[in-house]
A = this chain, B = another copy of it.
Amino acid sequence: MNARTEAHLSALSPAAALAALREASPLVQCITNSVVTNYTANALLAVGAAPAMCDIPGESGMFAGIADGVLVNLGTPTAEQRDAAREAVRATSRWVLDPVAVGVLPVRTALAAELVEHRPAIVRGNASEILALAGEGGGGRGVDATDGTDAAAGAAQSLALRTRGVVAVSGPVDLVTDGERVVRIHGGDALLTRVTGGGCSLGAVMAALVGVCAPFEAAVAASALYAVASERAAGRAGGPGSFAVAFLDALDAVAQDPAELDARVADALAIR
């Protein structure tokens, strides 16, 4: 086992990745939709990152050059955000694409096709979105996943090979692939789908981790964190409103004490 392989294996530890995140407090630029800006910023702060929602032309590209990670989420892509996204992806390779509702709606579908050529480090979406972006599905009916995670496994792998990056498919079971490796992360709680911002903020946390570890490890660690934190929050929640609050508390708590994440991913690897 050479040094590089060893580094990769150790970087695979979500606990190590989250500790690195808290140590570095990466600056994360978010070009994201108007529904989830607040929740996304709070999720980033909870895990120890420093969010900055810099999303106007004339500032976005410059900021992407100094940010440790960049999220481009296409949920409500105004004309200014579309230009800001174009600037940003030219300025950095450490960016995550969240192609919200592509395949359904024409403006963002065209933009996603354009942006993906700039090779996002990670694409994160639900199965419908990944199928649509890979050219293999007709899209869902908006932000809902209408296809199961595994139905998008092939599309995710071919998309990852095309971008030479990582693709993360979110669902009841999360799937992360770089085209060769495929990892499934089990767990989580359905309450995370009963509040807005769960998936969108997950993409932002991946962008934070891209600042401190390799994209594959970043996507796996963020998915494991969300699975564990959502289970913990569900145990304290009396409904979706209190779940959203408890989830931010749980992100903070698990990020401070992430040891249990390693077992979760070890299991995921063992059952492949």
Mark A residues whose CB is within 8 Å of B.
27, 33-39, 41-42, 45-46, 50-56, 58-59, 62-63, 66, 75-80, 101, 104-108, 141-144, 194-197, 238-242, 244-253
Distance A39 CA – B241 CA, assembled complex (angstroms) = 10
Q: Which of A55, A141, A197 has the most CB of B within 10 A?
A: A141
* Residues B76 and A78 in contact, CB atoms below 8 Å apart: no
Chain B contacts of A105 at CB under 8 A? Answer: 54, 59, 62-63
Contact of A35 among B41, B194, B238 (CB under 8 A): B41
6 residue pairs from A and B, CB less than 8 Å apart:
A27-B141, A35-B38, A51-B143, A59-B105, A59-B106, A238-B249
Distance A96 CA – B145 CA, assembled complex (angstroms) = 26
Distance from A139 Cβ to chain B, minimum over Cβ atoms (Å): 11
A53-B41 contact given A108-B59, A239-B248, A249-B242, CB 8 Å threshold: no
Contact of A53 among B35, B56, B66, B239 (CB under 8 A): B35
Distance from A161 Cβ to chain B, minimum over Cβ atoms (Å): 30
A245-B252 contact given A53-B75, A59-B105, A59-B108, CB 8 Å threshold: no
Distance A253 CA – B108 CA, assembled complex (angstroms) = 35
Chain B contacts of A42 at CB under 8 A? Answer: 195-196, 240-241, 244
Distance from A109 Cβ to chain B, minimum over Cβ atoms (Å): 9
Q: Which of A33, A144, A239, A251 has the most CB of B within 10 A?
A: A239
* Residues A56 and B78 in contact, CB atoms below 8 Å apart: yes
Distance A33 CA – B62 CA, assembled complex (angstroms) = 19
Distance A55 CA – B38 CA, assembled complex (angstroms) = 18
Closest 4 CB pairs of A and B: A241-B248, A239-B249, A52-B142, A41-B196
